[in-house]
């Protein structure tokens, strides 16, 4: 009987297997690199929109927080105009000068400033939902599609100052206003970037209408010793 020989498939040489693995690895590396480039391009394209929306939301939140802190503090202990300002009259009972009670003004400003700082410090991470259509930058798709949620960490610092202004309120009448100007530098922090913006608000502390002759001009602030005086100069 003839010998029955089995037929075996020739196995690939080891060098050829290594070559295939190298090619596969190179393809995966290229695919990963292309994916990374795509992600970076998408990030670069969408970043301006994300930054604008995040900053807008952070500013809106800061304004709401500042308003709430101010009015809450004013309701708790609000000084009257007469406690903040003293009117100085001449012999004809015309107002010649307006003197600030600097001690009371500083106490009021510091109290409100601390209330605002405390409220801003209590702001937590804010979820911001942005529709995919908005991120695309295409006007027709704005506000459409599923939302992508980002978490912004608002932070900021506060500067305040007292403003004192005069304006005509009618014939022989001048309105004097005391306002607190609050400027907050608010930052929105999300992974990848930190952006800052400013928002300024003015709050009325007190006002009055002064009846009498209105000078042609006046200097808003004149320093007398350690006490600023709002002075109306004598008419010539």
Q: What is the pLDDT of residues 194-231, one digit of tens each?
A: 777 888 899 988 888 877 764 443 434 333 333 333 44
DSSP secondary structure code for residue 181 in this structure? E
What share of the chain has pLDDT > 70, as a percent?
Answer: 67
Is residue 164 situated within a structural domain?
A: yes
By C-alpha distance, which of 203, 165, 205 is closest to 77? 205
45-68 residue pLDDT tens: 667 777 777 777 778 888 888 899
Tell me if 6 is assigned to some domain.
no
CA–CA dist 10, 8 (Å, integer): 6
Q: Residue 215 sits in which domain range? A: 14-231
Q: Is residue 153 part of a domain?
A: yes
Q: Is 119 inside a domain boundary?
A: yes
Residue 158 pLDDT: 86
Confidence of residue 44 (pLDDT cuts 50, 70, 90): low
| Residue 8 covered by a domain | no
Tell me, yes or no, whether 220 lies in a domain.
Answer: yes
Count of domains observed in the chain: 1
Q: Can you give the pTM of this predicted structure?
A: 0.63
User: Per the domain annotation, does 7 fall within a domain?
Assistant: no
More confident residue, 151 or 83: 83
| Residue 146 DSSP one-character state | -
What is the three-class DSSP state of 123?
coil
Whether 1 is in a domain gets the answer no
């Amino acid at each position: 009987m003839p010998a029955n020989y089995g037929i075996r498939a020739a196995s690939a040489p080891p060098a050829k297997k290594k070559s295939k693995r190298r090619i596969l690895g190179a393809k995966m590396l290229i695919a990963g690199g292309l994916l990374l480039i795509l992600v970076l391009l998408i990030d670069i394209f969408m970043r301006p929109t994300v930054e604008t929306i995040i900053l807008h939301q952070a500013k809106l939140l800061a304004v709401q927080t500042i308003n709430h802190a101010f009015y809450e503090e004013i309701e708790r202990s609000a000084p009257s105009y007469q406690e903040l300002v003293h009117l100085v009259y001449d012999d004809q009972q015309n107002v010649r000068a307006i003197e600030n009670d600097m001690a009371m003004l500083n106490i009021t400003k510091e109290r409100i400033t601390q209330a605002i700082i405390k409220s801003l410090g209590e702001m937590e991470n804010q979820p911001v939902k942005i529709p995919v259509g908005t991120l695309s930058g295409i006007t027709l798709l704005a506000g459409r599609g599923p939302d992508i949620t980002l978490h912004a960490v608002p932070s900021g610092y506060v500067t305040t100052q007292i403003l004192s202004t005069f304006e005509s309120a009618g014939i022989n009448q001048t309105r004097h206003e005391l306002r607190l100007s609050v400027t907050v530098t608010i930052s929105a922090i999300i992974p990848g970037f930190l952006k800052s913006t400013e928002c300024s608000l003015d709050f009325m502390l007190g006002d009055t209408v002064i009846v009498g002759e209105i000078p042609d001009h006046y200097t808003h602030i004149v320093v007398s010793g350690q006490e600023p005086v709002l002075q109306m100069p004598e008419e010539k």
